[in-house]
Each structure stands twice: as C-alpha cells, then as structure tokens.
Structure 1
C-alpha cells in the first residue's frame, strides 16, 4: 500500500516524525497530493541535522484523483532513493 493510500485511509491530521517518511511527504506535497506542514531541516549545535515532525492535514482532491485513476505503485526500494545513501553504479 502506498503512503498516499495510507494517508487517505488514516484519521487526519496525523503526525509523522520518521525522516524517511517526511521526505516522501515532501514529494507528495510538491505534487499537490497532500496538504501538510513540513518544517525545514535545521542545523543545530548539538546535532548535525534536526528535523521536527510533519503534520498532514488532508489528502487533496488531486491526491484522491490519483488514487482513483490507479497511479503506479511505489517501487520497493523507494526508501533508498530518499535516504541519501544510495550507491552509485560502478562505484
């Protein structure tokens, strides 16, 4: 089940603190599939990266239309694309 499907079935608003899922939420928000408050990543003195939780308020009409028209499923390795640790081919 895709993240968009999970959000459509969830009781909103919902809070997400997992950095990998927050990156996926950014993609959905950029595609106008969700309405969310996603704070920017901040550099702190104590920690190299500090990211606050994201709050998803709605699945937009565009997101619901995408679900109705049967958008392709997310690849199983999608987390590797957003983790920043994906290995380069030939390396």
Structure 2
C-alpha cells in the first residue's frame, strides 16, 4: 500500500515541478498533475533503459522524471491547441 501512496506523492511533486518549469498556462487539476508526473517518470525510465542509463528494475531519477513530464506537457499543449 505504501508503494502506491509513494508513487502518487512522487507523481504529484514531479508534476508540480514540471508545470512550474514549463512556460505558459496549463489548465489541469491535481489528478492530471499526478498522472503527468507518474507518466513522466515512466517515460524517463523506459527511455533511460533504451539508452542504457538505467538497468531493468531501476527507476528514473528526479531530474529525468521532471524532464519526461515536461516533454509530456509540451505534447499535451500541442494536442490541446490543435483540438481547439
């Protein structure tokens, strides 16, 4: 149970930092910020494993997770602009 709570907390922190570092206004709530942070961490983990920065079973670091979340924010912004 603590693993799930820890994952949600890390996702929230990563999502908040990524949103603070990314210029512009992102209209998303707390749940989407958590999802963004978790997805950014997963993206960083798998890209890091493909580039041999991380071994299988290793998680991405904070900076890589934040960068992954920023990449997802840019993609989210492009898709949202295109849809409007």
Q: Same fold (TM over 0.5)?
A: no
Give the strand-richer structure, 1 or 2. Answer: 1
Give the helix-richer structure, 1 or 2. Answer: 2
Larger Rg: 1
